[in-house]
Every structure is written in C-alpha cells, then in structure tokens.
Structure 1
Amino acid sequence: MPLTILYIGRDAEITTVMHRLLNERPEWTGLTVCNDDEAVSICKKQQLDLVLLGNGINAECEATLRQKLTSIRPGLKIIQHYGGGSGLLYGEIMSAIN
C-alpha cells in the first residue's frame, strides 16, 4: 500500500510541482495544499504517513500546524522540506519513514 504524504506549502506553483513529484512514484500518494485549514481537514479524513512543510510557513504557523495535526493523529511524522531536486525529496522522505 502506498505511503500517503501531505505537502503543505504557501506557493501555488511549487505546490503543483510537489504534487507531480510525490505522485510520480508508485509507492507514494501525494496530497498538496496551500491552506492550513485544508491540511487539517485532510488529516481528519485520511490516514497520513508523513507531512512535509514547505517554504513560506513561518515558525508560529508551523507550531500551530504541528499541534493541530498531531492532536488529530498522534505520532504523525512532520518534517520540513525547503526544496531541492527529486533525489533530495526522496532521501528526506525515506529518512523520515525509516
């Protein structure tokens, strides 16, 4: 069963690229949003294996998101992803889930 990965970013163009990258691999299902309320809603409805926080999320928003998401799904892995090639993305995800 594929890993379900939620990417939360602030830039719509980067979020579109992340959607493509996450869904290129058959072992991953990628969901992408630019809005924190959407992220919380998805977390309530779907089992998530990992959350990636993209650039543009300030420290205050990050802390709030982490609190909200882990209150819904305790133990949910949440990591920061600031860009880079698909090889870096793969490495970050594999490190987080192992």
Structure 2
Amino acid sequence: MKKLIILYIGRNQEITDTMNRLLNAREEWEGITTCLDEEALVMVKDTPINLVLLGNGISAAAEKKLRADLIRVRPALKIIQHYGGGSGLLYSEIMAAMGS
C-alpha cells in the first residue's frame, strides 16, 4: 500500500512534535513536520508530499506567502488548515482533503 505523505507546518515546536507522532501513528501515513517555511519549501521540492497541513501560529500574511510559495513549487499540492482537535478530527480532515 502506498503511504500518504503529509507535511505539517506549525510555529510551536511542542505541537509540531505531537503532530509528528499523530501523523506517523497510522500505518498508511508518513508524516513529516517543520516549524520553518524555508525547510518546508525544500521538503515539498524534494519529497512527493500529497498534502500540507498548516498549523496554528502562522500569521495571515505569512500564510498567504507560504501558500503562494508552496503552489509555485508544486502547483497541484493540496493545502489545508489544521488548528487542533483530536486525532479523529485530524483523520476526518485528511480524508476529506484527499477525497476519501
């Protein structure tokens, strides 16, 4: 089974670490995480990421620029916001974004 590769970008390291654990807890997902936009852009360029989750703490202006930069690197990339909630909500958001 091909794994869904999910990139989480957040600003809080503790939350980012938790997201890494949650994303990698499911056998069918591979989660990668970062708090740095520059690192995220390299990851999107170098890794076949299927979905990007934008976490809390990203200002509106930074999010607008980040989205534009990500789409410039990979135009068909799916990007959604994730501001927290339980693992059930996370699963639902990811499945909805991927059309499952």
TM-score tier (shorter): over 0.9
**1:28-75 deviation digits (Å, cap 9, x = unpaired):** 000000010100010110111000000000111111111111111111
Spell out the pairing of 1:61-72 with structure 2 (5 A cutoff).
61-72=62-73
Normalised by the length of structure 1, the TM-score is 0.98
Instruction: For residue 77 of structure 1, report the CA deviation from its aligned partner.
Output: 0.5
Partner of 2:83: 82
4+ residue segments displaced more than 6 Å: none
Tell me which amino acid in the other structure corresponds to 2:20: H
Q: Which residue of 2 is the match for residue 51 of structure 1?
A: 52
Match in the other structure for 2:35: 34
Q: For the residues of structure 2 that align with 1:47 and 1:63, how far apart are their CA atoms?
A: 22
Q: Secondary structure at the match of 2:7?
A: strand
**Cα distance in 2 for residues equivalent to 1:58 and 1:10:** 10
Distance 1:40 1:73 in 2: 10
SS at match of 1:79: strand
Displacement of 1:89 in angstroms is 0.2
Aligned length in residues: 98
* Partner residue, 2:13: 12
In structure 1, the gaps of 5 or more residues are none
**How many percent identity over aligned positions?**
60
CA–CA separation in structure 1 for the residues paired with 2:78 and 2:46: 17
